[in-house]
Amino acid sequence: QKEVEQDPGPLSVPEGAIVSLNCTYSNSAFQYFMWYRQYSRKGPELLMYTYSSGNKEDGRFTAQVDKSSKYISLFIRDSQPSDSATYLCAMTRDSSASKIIFGSGTRLSIRP
Amino acid sequence: DTAVSQTPKYLVTQMGNDKSIKCEQNLGHDTMYWYKQDSKKFLKIMFSYNNKELIINETVPNRFSPKSPDKAHLNLHINSLELGDSAVYFCASSQPSGGSETQYFGPGTRLLVL
């Protein structure tokens, strides 16, 4: 079993829809949780960073962490075609970036 | 003003050859990384260097040898290339801090071994 599981998609939704992306994990020692966005033929870029359980909101994006269920989510409101990308969840045990474990990514397509 | 740059962007080569990929960051970060992303988009860390010293080596074959001439550069040399080495290789950098530590990724080097 992989440490981090993520549905690869692809996920296709119409513009303006609410998108929900999810990851599950098996290691209860993970404390720091991240979402990266990767456009085609580009490197990943950090989108959201959360510590422990709870919610964090940044504009149209909301990250949720439920440590009791070992489940994290990223919600995108009012989705735009420019949100079309692969979204990778990632997590680590401490604040150091040295041992980040990535999910395999979910490919998201927003239809105009 | 590219923060993390890699060369070359594309690399097509024959099995058995030796090749190098270069990475440079102008962010003043102390830590640099090499990742491999396979065809299924699975991103896995290979090496991590902090101030030119190797701190992570994740069960990577000996054919892969990183070299850090200074803390702004981390190059990756691959000997005797195999078909399975075909992937996208990403360099990244970060700066240790008391709170969250963000990694900044380069644009990737697409390696195809024929």
Q: Which pLDDT tens digit goes with each residue over B66-82?
A: 999 998 999 999 999 99
Is B56 at the interface with chain A, CB within 8 A? Answer: yes
Chain B residues touching A38 at Cβ < 8 A: 41
CB spacing of B98 vs A95 below 8 angstroms: yes
Which parts of A1-112 are beta strand (E)? 4-6, 11-14, 19-25, 32-38, 45-51, 54-58, 61-66, 71-76, 85-92, 101-102, 106-111
Q: Is the pLDDT of residue B50 over 90?
A: no
Closest chain A residue to B10, measured at CA: A41
What is the model's pLDDT at position A37?
A: 97
Mutate: best of A3, A93, A96, A108, partner B, most B CBs <10 A? A96
Q: Judge whether residue B83 has pLDDT over 90.
A: yes
With beta carbons under 8 A apart, name residues in chain B contacting A105: 41-43
- Which contiguous run of DSSP H or E holds residue B43? strand B43-50
* The pLDDT of residue A97 is above 70: no
Residue, of B49 and A96, whose pLDDT is higher: B49
> Given A41, A44, A86, which is nearest B105 (Cβ)?
A44
Alpha carbon separation from B46 to A11, A100, A101, B19 (Å, rounded): 29, 11, 12, 17
Contact B43 A97 (CB under 8 A): no
pLDDT, position B1 = 64
**Assigned token pair, B109:** 């080097």
Q: How far is CA B48 from CA A32, B54, B92, in A?
A: 19, 6, 9
CB contact under 8 Å between B100 and A95, yes or no, is: yes
Q: Does B108 touch chain A (CB under 8 A)?
A: yes
What's the pLDDT at A52? 84
Q: Are A97 and B102 in contact (CB under 8 A)?
A: yes
* Chain A contact set for B89 (CB, 8 A): none
Residues of chain A above pLDDT 70, percent: 96
Give A-chain residues touching B102 at CB under 8 angstroms.
Answer: 46, 49, 97
Q: Is the pLDDT of residue B51 over 90?
A: no
